A and B are shown apart, each in its own frame.
Chain A
Amino acid sequence: MQKLMLLGDEALAQGALDAGMSGCFAYPGTPSTEIMEYVQHNKEAVERDIHRTWGSNEKTIMEAAVGMSYAGKRTMACMKHVGLNVAADPFMNSAFVGANGGLIVAVADDPSMHSSQNEQDSRFYAKFAMIPCLEPSNQQECYDMAFLAFELSEKFKLPIMIRLETRLSHSRAGVTRRDKIAENVGKLPEDKNQFMLLPSFSRRKYKNLIKLQSELVAASENSEFNSYTDGSDKSLGIIACGLGYNYVMENLANRDVNYPILKISHYPLPRKLVEKMYKECDKILVVEDGQPIVEEMLKGYISGNEKIKGRLDGTFSYDGEMDPNKVAVALGFGKEVVGTVPEDIVGRPPALCVGCPHIDSFVTLNEALKEHGDGHVFSDIGCYTLGFMPPYNGINTCLDMGASITMAKGASDAGLFPAVAVIGDSTFSHSGLTGLLDCVYDKSNVVIIILDNATTGMTGGQNYTGENKIEEMCLGLGVEKEHIRVVTPLKRCHEEMVQVYKEEIAYNGVSIVIPRRECIQTMTRRIRAQKKAAKK
Chain B
Amino acid sequence: MKINIILAGVGGQGILTIAKVFGQVAVKQNLFLKQAEVHGMSQRGGDVQSNLRISDKEIFSDLIPEGEADLIISVEPMESLRYLPLLAPDGWLITNAKPFVNIPNYPEIETVYNEVRKVKNHVIIDAQGIAKEIGNVLASNIVMLGAAAEKTCFSMEQLEVALHEIFISKGEKVVDLNVKALRAGNEAKSL
Query: Chain A: residues with CB nearer than 8 A to chain B?
Result: 2-3, 5, 7, 30-31, 33-34, 114-115, 167-168, 170-174, 243, 245-247, 249-251, 253, 323-325, 328, 335-342, 344-353, 383, 386, 390, 458-460
19 additional A-B pairs beyond A249-B60, A249-B61, beta carbons within 8 Å, are A30-B40, A34-B39, A114-B40, A115-B41, A115-B42, A170-B38, A173-B34, A174-B32, A243-B62, A245-B60, A323-B63, A338-B67, A339-B119, A341-B85, A345-B107, A347-B103, A351-B44, A352-B45, A460-B39
Write out the residue numbers on chain A whose beta carbons fall within 8 Å of the beta carbon of B34: 171-173
Write out the residue numbers on chain A whose beta carbons fall within 8 Å of the beta carbon of B11.
350
Given contacts A5-B27, A174-B27, contact A350 B43 (CB under 8 A): yes
**A325 & B66 in contact (Cβ 8 Å cutoff):** yes
What separation, in Å, do the CA atoms of A344 and B111 have in the docked complex?
A: 8
A386 touches B39 (CB 8 A): no
- Is B37 within 8 A of A171, CB to CB? yes
- B residues near A (Cβ < 8 Å) are 10-12, 23, 27, 32-47, 51, 59-63, 65-67, 78-79, 81-82, 84-89, 102-108, 111-112, 115, 118-119
Q: Are B102 and A335 in contact (CB under 8 A)?
A: no
Chain B minimum-CB-distance residue to A321: B63
Q: Shortest distance in angstroms between B155's beta carbon and chain A's nearest beta carbon?
A: 21
| CB atoms of A172 and B35 under 8 A apart | yes
Residues of B within 8 A of A171 (CB): 34-37, 51, 62
CA distance A347 to B105 in the complex (A): 9
The answer to whether A30 touches B39 (Cβ under 8 A) is: yes
Q: Is the pair A246, B107 in contact by a Cβ cutoff of 8 Å?
A: no
Note all chain A residues with C-beta closer than 8 A to B88.
Answer: 338
CB neighbours (8 Å) of B115 from chain A are: 342, 344-345
Distance between B81 CB and nearest chain A CB, rounded to angstroms: 5
Specify which chain B residues have a CB less than 8 angstroms from the CB of A344 in the assembled complex.
Answer: 107-108, 111-112, 115
| A-B pairs with beta carbons under 8 Å apart, 6 shown | A30-B41, A31-B40, A171-B62, A335-B67, A342-B115, A353-B45
Chain B contacts for A336, CB-based, 8 A: 67
Residue of A nearest to B34 (CB): A173
Chain A residues with CB under 8 Å of B35's CB are 5, 171-173
CB distance from B111 to the nearest CB of A (A): 5
Known: A170-B36, A172-B23, A249-B60. A346 touches B84 (CB 8 A): no
**A residues in contact with B12, CB < 8 Å:** 353
CA distance A353 to B85 in the complex (A): 30
- A16 vs chain B, min Cβ distance (A): 20
**B97: min CB distance to chain A, Å:** 16
Closest to A139 in B: B34
Contact for A350 among B23, B44, B105, B119, CB less than 8 A: B44
Which residue of chain A has the shortest Cβ distance to B86 in the bound complex?
A: A339
Q: Give B177 Cβ to nearest chain A Cβ, in Å.
A: 17
Q: Are B103 and A348 in contact (CB under 8 A)?
A: yes
Determine if B85 and A340 form an interchain contact, defined as CB atoms under 8 angstroms apart. Answer: yes
Which residues of chain A have C-beta atoms less than 8 A from B111's C-beta?
344
Given contacts A5-B27, A342-B84, contact A352 B67 (CB under 8 A): no
CB nearest neighbor in A for B119: A339
Docked pose: A247 CA to B36 CA in angstroms = 14
The 7 residue pairs across chains A and B that have the minimum distance between CB atoms: A115-B40, A339-B84, A30-B40, A350-B46, A250-B61, A171-B36, A171-B62
Q: Is the CB of B39 within 8 A of A351?
A: no
> Which of B10, B37, B87, B89 is in CB contact (< 8 Å) with A348?
B10
* Contact A348 B102, beta carbon cutoff 8 Å: yes
> Considering the chains assembled together, what is the distance between the CA atoms of A353 and B45 in angstroms?
7
Q: Tell whether A247 pairs with B46 under 8 Å between CB atoms, given A5-B33, A324-B65, A346-B103.
A: no
A170 contacts across to B, CB distance below 8 A: 36-39
| Closest Cβ–Cβ distance, residue A536 to chain B (whole Å) | 12
Chain B residue nearest to A3 (CB atoms) is B27
In the bound complex, do residue B44 and residue A337 qualify as a contact, i.e. CB atoms below 8 Å apart?
no
Of chain B, the residue at the smallest CB distance from A34 is B39
Residues of chain B within 8 A of A31, CB atoms compared:
39-40
* A233 to B108 Cα, complex, angstroms: 53
